[in-house]
Structure 1
Amino acid sequence: MERSQMLDKEIALVYRSEKNKRYSIETLFKPFDKQVNIQKIILPEDLNSIYNFFKLWVFLLKIKQKVIHITGDVHYVAILLFWKKNIITIHDLNHYENLKGLKKIIYGFIWFYLPLKIAHKIVAISPYTKKQLQNHFKIDENKIIIIPNSFLKFETPNFSYPEKNNLYFQILCVGNTENKNIERLIDAVEGIDKIKIRLIGKQPDELLIKFKNKNINFSIACDLTRNELFYEYICSNILYFASTKEGFGLPILEAQSLGVPVITSNTTAMPFVAGDGTVLVDPYSIESIKESILLFVNGKINLEELKEKGYKNIERFSEHIFFESYNKIYETIRNENI
């Protein structure tokens, strides 16, 4: 009998509740669903009340596995299962860093400080996330392992789609939260002829006002399927992803895989994810953003070279490397005598 069969359901992968329809972490770890020694566990609730605290505690006490991998977001599970061998994947600390006062102290203690002290191993998805953990919570460097997120390539849809419109230069933006830095993009493209901004995300009232005041050609789409997102990439001239802060930056890899040039930031996790297959800008400088856009608009950059570098870069984030890196941690934790 193979070792994986002998270790039937030995490891529990714990996921956040499905009630808020959040799927990024769930999609990331989907390859592990097929592994015979892993039990997928989805929390029934979020920790947002005293009642849910006790409901979660009763639910978690039923878990029989000795090795617990908390896949992200619900780090507090380690507190409720403190006697087990806990692995915690940390995706970013952006929400924590945006909090202030007592709320930040309480959130930091329950979601980060105490779970990270309890955890046997901590996985950071980028060097930047590791640096955040060390800066805020003084975590032992030897306890943190960097495993970048994997990247699942697009499958070419089996239907026809329109070709890129050459009447304008389309800039694709994936996401419209404040850190995505769309306002500076609007300022940067003002006055550049035949520019269109295609925004993927919920309709933001404050951005709509600025688009109209600056007389910028734009359109918005949201809740896209993966095939629809594929179409958005290939119909755009460049991806703009010059965020002020990112824990990782998956759209960079999505664009590179389809040969779409990328403008991204020279800060936080983005240079690590981008490799040398993008154009880096200062996200706080409107002039820096504008100069980079004009490089593409005016044809002053070698697109083929940039594309080839992008194709090469995404090899670092293969599903195989991701899968094997986590399995190595599982094996190490299993064999520890604690």
Structure 2
Amino acid sequence: MRLVIDCFKLVKGKGKSIGIYNLAQNLAQHLTETNRNGERCEEIIVLGNEYNRKDFDIPGIRFVQMKGNPLNKLTCLVWELFIVPFQARKYKADRILFPRGYRPLFYRGKDTVIIHDLIPFFYDKYFPSVLNRVENAYIMSRLKASMKHADRIITISEFSRREIDAMCPGSGKRVRVIYNGLNEVKCSRNKCALIPEEPYIYAAASGLPHKNAAGVLKTYDAYYHQTQHPARLIVVGILNTDGYEISSEAASHVTCYKYIERSEDMHSLLAGARVFLFLSLIEGFGFPPLEAMQLGVPVVCSDRTALAEVVGDAGLLTDPDNYAQSVKCLNRILTEEELRQQLIRKGYENVKRFGWDSRITAYWEELAR
């Protein structure tokens, strides 16, 4: 088998999801490591660009740097519609893998698309004014076409599988769930200047509505006013509390970081927290709670979409719209040491479900079909 992986449009730090880039990079790495001497695949070819060459041009891969600017929308449109089918024929692909979930409209060979989530449809229904409506409509149409015509579909949770089946009835036989693999996170708790001396809650959010920064701050406001000695809140993903519903008293105990450049610093800050709070409204998978568990931090997590199946009973699940329930979960972890230690142990066990060895075996099975 000659496998081609389409990575032309992937640029680290650009676009809406670093998760897709990281998955593609990890896949390339693990596929090559498990294909020694061409045991599984005659050749792995990555169609990339000048920006991602350093991550994908690795031993065991034939990296082809394609011409054109992957940050230019017209270039990407032409790439998707016309150039990819030509490149697949040029390199005699037995199968082509599309990590971003979009396949060419006119491709007739064997292909596998990875559909991570259907969040564009969520925005179209609940937050239609947030994203560029023309661009979002195009993305939805491309996803629908991929779901309808792809030879094989890989998705990353049972929740996403059900969403795909509802959107494209009859697709079930072509869909396989392969959970994302979890990499080991690195941190140094004693060297991070961002870590405060007092106990703190760590929350991950963003300015995008589905990440629910508003819910995080409303929950903290309720917690702050109900607690005699409240822990500080650190929120990563927003610049400040301006424009959110939170009292000035509670806001004075909140520290916000729009972005933490060094992942080691971010993980060190997470590792020092007493509890991790994640109240997202929709996720195709959900890495943040797993990273917290990996670092021994108890989790309070939204019970919506894929998060319940990823977190399981290793965290306290809560309705993200029920602030009183979320506050109760926070207080339980912060005051009940036995529960806290139990969740830490369960978290360590839970992350074992997402090792790369079983993931990559499942990928090879799919790609060889």
Q: TM-score, normalised by structure 2?
A: 0.77
Give the structure 1 partner of residue 55 of structure 2. Answer: none
Structure 2 distance, partners of 1:188, 1:97, is 23
1:90 aligns with 2:90: no
> Residues 52, 294 of structure 1: CA spacing in aligned structure 2 closer, same or farther, 3 A cutoff?
closer
1:42 aligns with 2:35: no
Could you tell me which residue of structure 2 aligns to residue 194 of structure 1? 230
Matched AA of 1:68: I
- Note if 1:217 corresponds to 2:253: yes
Give the Cα separation in 1 of the matches to 2:118 and 2:304: 15
Q: 1:230 to 1:300 in 2, by over 3 A?
A: closer
Instruction: Identify the range of structure 1 (116-125 vs 20-29) with the bigger mean alpha-carbon deviation.
Output: 20-29
Aligned-pair distance for 1:294? 1.3
Q: Amino acid of the residue matched to residue 365 of structure 2?
A: K
Distance 2:352 2:108 in 1: 38
- Partner deviation per Cα, 1:100-158 (whole Å, 9 max, x = no partner): 6885655422x222222221111110011111112222242111100011100113549
**Structure 2 counterpart of 1:231, which letter?**
S
Task: Please tell me whether the aligned partners of residues 215 and 323 of structure 2 are also in contact (alpha carbons under 8 angstroms).
Answer: yes
1:28 to 23, 29, 49: 23
SS at 1:99 equivalent:
helix
Secondary structure at the aligned position of 1:69 is classed as strand
**Corresponding residue to 2:239 among 203, 208, 221:** 203
Partner Cα separation in structure 2 for residue 107 and residue 215 of structure 1: 37
Letter in 1 for 2:233: I
- Corresponding letter in the other structure for 1:88: V
1:27-176 matched pairs, under 5 angstroms: 27-34=22-29, 35=32, 37-42=43-48, 44-45=69-70, 48-49=73-74, 52-60=76-84, 61-63=86-88, 64=91, 65-73=93-101, 75=102, 77-80=103-106, 82-99=107-124, 103=134, 106-109=138-141, 111-157=142-188, 160-161=191-192, 165=196, 167=198, 169-176=199-206
Q: CA RMSD in A?
A: 2.8
- Write the distance in 2 (CA, Å) between the matches of 1:25 and 1:184: 26
2:58 maps to none
SS in 2 for 1:275: helix
CA shift in 2, pair 1:89/1:139, >3 Å: farther
Displacement of 1:202: 4.0
- Cα 1:329–1:206, aligned 2, differ >3 Å: closer, same or farther? same
Between the aligned partners of 1:153 and 1:19, the Cα distance in structure 2 is 19
1:264-294 per-position Cα deviation (integer Å, ceiling 9, x unaligned): 0122101111021100111110111111111
Describe the superposition over 1:182-213 as per-residue Cα deviations: whole angstroms up to 9, x where unpaired: 32332233313332111112415645674647
Cα distance change on mapping 1:87 and 1:47 into 2, 3 Å: farther
The alignment partner of 1:295 has SS state of helix
Contact 2:241 2:251 in 1 (8 A): no
Distance 2:156 2:253 in 1: 36
* Structure 1 match to 2:11: 18
Count of residues in correspondence between the two structures: 318
Contact 2:203 2:216 (C-alpha < 8 Å) held by counterparts:
no
Per the TM alignment, residue 91 of structure 1 is displaced from its structure 2 partner at its CA by 0.7
Sort the Cα spacing of 1:156 and 1:283 in 2 relative to 1 into closer, same or farther, 3 A: closer
Aligned partners of 2:278 and 2:72: how far apart in 1? 32
Q: Is the 1:92–1:129 contact (alpha carbons within 8 Å) kept by the matching residues of 2?
A: yes
- Relative to 1, partners in 2 of residues 1:172 and 1:277: Cα closer, same or farther, differing over 3 Å? same
Q: Classify the secondary structure of the residue corresponding to 1:21.
A: coil
How many percent identity over aligned positions?
A: 17
Deviates more, 1:316-325 or 1:29-38: 29-38
Contact 2:80 2:104 in 1 (8 A): no
CA distance in 1, matches of 2:243, 2:166: 33
Structure 1 length normalisation: TM-score? 0.84
How many angstroms apart in 1 are the aligned matches of 2:28 and 2:22? 10
Q: CA deviation at 1:161?
A: 4.5
How far does residue 48 in structure 1 lie from its aligned partner after superposition? Answer: 3.5
* Change over 3 Å in CA distance of 1:32–1:295 after alignment to 2: closer
Quick check: 1:244–1:283 contact (8 Å CA) kept in 2?
Answer: yes
The match for 1:336 is none
What is the alpha-carbon distance in structure 1 between the residues aligned to residue 46 and residue 343 of structure 2? Answer: 40
Partner of 1:331: 368
* 1: CA distance, partners of 2:78 / 2:209: 35
